[in-house]
Amino acid sequence: MTSQALLIDRFFLPGAFTAEPREPVGVAMQFAAGEEIYAQAEPVEFVYRLVSGAVRSTRLLSDGRRQIGDFYYPGDVFGLETSETHRFSAEGLGDCQVQVLKRFAPSRSGEDRIRFDRMISAATSRELDRAQDHILLLARMTACEKVSSFLLSIANRFKAELTVLPMSRQDMADYLGLTIETISRMLGRLQADGVVEFMGCRHFRIRHRSALDRLAAS
Amino acid sequence: MTSQALLIDRFFLPGAFTAEPREPVGVAMQFAAGEEIYAQAEPVEFVYRLVSGAVRSTRLLSDGRRQIGDFYYPGDVFGLETSETHRFSAEGLGDCQVQVLKRFAPSRSGEDRIRFDRMISAATSRELDRAQDHILLLARMTACEKVSSFLLSIANRFKAELTVLPMSRQDMADYLGLTIETISRMLGRLQADGVVEFMGCRHFRIRHRSALDRLAAS
DNA sequence: CGTTTCTTTGAATCCGGTCAAGGTCCGTGG
DNA sequence: CCACGGACCTTGACCGGATTCAAAGAAACG
């Protein structure tokens, strides 16, 4: 195995980033809260892997409407857009650390090149799967179902007793195709019904999982 | 160039299928209107390329709600799902001809294998782009904008004076996340406003393109 | 030519949006 | 340490676009 191959495997390690790598994997970068990692319409140069923090990918329409494509958490690969330029921008939701790798490196050839391409297409496939789930969510779910399945998917991702929401209400709204007021109302309702419990607006725990599963109804 | 490579290039030729191939490209199959080409949850065995007719990919929820993932027209490759099993089913909208190629052929190796993988990932990328546009449409557009941009995208695809809608109102509704009544009303309104003109419910022409562009507003 | 399926149209309803006001959380500086 | 200011979140009242329910009309098919 070449060291390039090792690098690529480390970069694309699925799941959360746990082990300390012995050698640097791509270039490590740090971004502040709200800082842009790459911009919409900018040429695609790199692939990114989130080490810590959380990232959102967003798309702006000319009239100011905003759509969030996805949220990324530690271990996720993002920025792998297929065209020449980025169709989304990416911003940190808080301070975050990112590993950066050249998207098209002429130095990569032979085995390494194949390896890299295969990993990229695996990551693209995961992206497509998530996009398709997102479509189902947006097209055929009520506000309550959207919010329920959103909470559920974050909780499932982190599997901790207490789940932290790294994004604002506005971010949730722009992801789910709702307004902040509706988000707030639905969260209030879920709490009033004893399904979840909030401690401050960014921390919650699930109190009645089967009810939440039922409400998410997918 | 090996004959396998030729086959793959022919199969994945972008755009409409115009030239007669000198040799068969995959296996040609014929499906009747409404017939299932592959089923949801069925293992992925083949990749498909539409020669004539039109196809929809659909997903069914347990409670009967239906979502259409996409419509495919001659020249499009479909059925390239990333998991082991199909997350959608595909059905012909009318009678249609399809070319079928094994998704995982052990006989493909070396150059051919690379070639094939590259083509698959190009097609997957296109699919992802479309899914992302679909997300924007569903999350942030009004019924009128949805219907307008739908008509526009079909018209742009075929670029004929008179455009044929191969799908039913129900199909349009399940694609756009609306009801058939709303679809019908919006089409009626667009016609009343002189933006489009319908001849029967499956044929229309654009009478005022700039107005339609403005309504589609993306 | 009759039956079935699909489409259109109308009236009433409801879910989520809009507008507006008030509350909470934090960081900053007096 | 507390007061102030601003950003974010919650809550209420009202509104409107899309759905629902219902029925009539048009098209497809045997």
Beta strands (DSSP E) in chain B are 27-31, 36-38, 46-52, 55-60, 66-72, 77-78, 89-92, 96-102, 163-164, 196-198, 203-206
Angle between helices B110-140 and B3-12 (to 10 degrees): 10
pLDDT on residue B24:
46
- C1'-nearest nucleotide to the CA of A179: C17
Asked if strand C contacts B29 at the CB level, meaning under 7 A, the answer is: no
pLDDT on residue A13:
54
Q: Which segment of A32-36, A40-44, B8-12, B207-211 scores lowest on mean pLDDT?
A: B8-12
Helices (H), chain A: 3-11, 110-140, 143-158, 169-176, 180-192, 209-216
pLDDT on residue A3:
56
Q: Is the pLDDT of residue A89 over 70?
A: yes
Instruction: For strands A203-206 and A163-164, give the pairing.
Output: antiparallel
Q: Is the pLDDT of residue B67 over 80?
A: yes
With CA atoms as reference, the chain B residue closest to A131 would be B131
Q: Is the pLDDT of residue B19 over 70?
A: no
Q: pLDDT band for position B20 (50/70/90)?
A: very low
- Over residues A152-169, the mean pLDDT reads 97
pLDDT on residue B9:
66
Q: Which segment of A1-5, B21-25, B122-126 scores lowest on mean pLDDT?
A: B21-25
Reported pTM: 0.92
CA dist., res. B32 & res. B61, Å (int): 25
Beta bridge partner(s), residue A163: A204
Strand order in the sheet with A27-31: A27-31, A96-102, A46-52, A77-78
pLDDT on residue B4:
64
Q: Does A138 sit within 8 Å of B135, measured CB to CB?
A: yes
DSSP A50-78: EEES-EEEEEE-TTS-EEEEEEE-TT-EE
Asked if strand D contacts B94 at the CB level, meaning under 7 A, the answer is: no
Nucleic strand D contact set for B 98-117 (CB, < 7 Å): none
Q: Does A67 sit within 8 Å of B139, measured CB to CB?
A: yes
Mean confidence (pLDDT) of chain B:
90
pLDDT in tens, B201-217: 999 999 999 999 999 98
pLDDT on residue B18:
39
pLDDT on residue A23:
40
Cα of A34 to nearest chain B Cα, Å: 22
Mean confidence (pLDDT) of chain A:
90
Q: pLDDT band for position A105 (50/70/90)?
A: confident
Asked if strand D contacts B142 at the CB level, meaning under 7 A, the answer is: yes
Give the whole-number percent of chain B exceeding pLDDT 90.
75
Q: Is the pLDDT of residue A15 over 50?
A: no
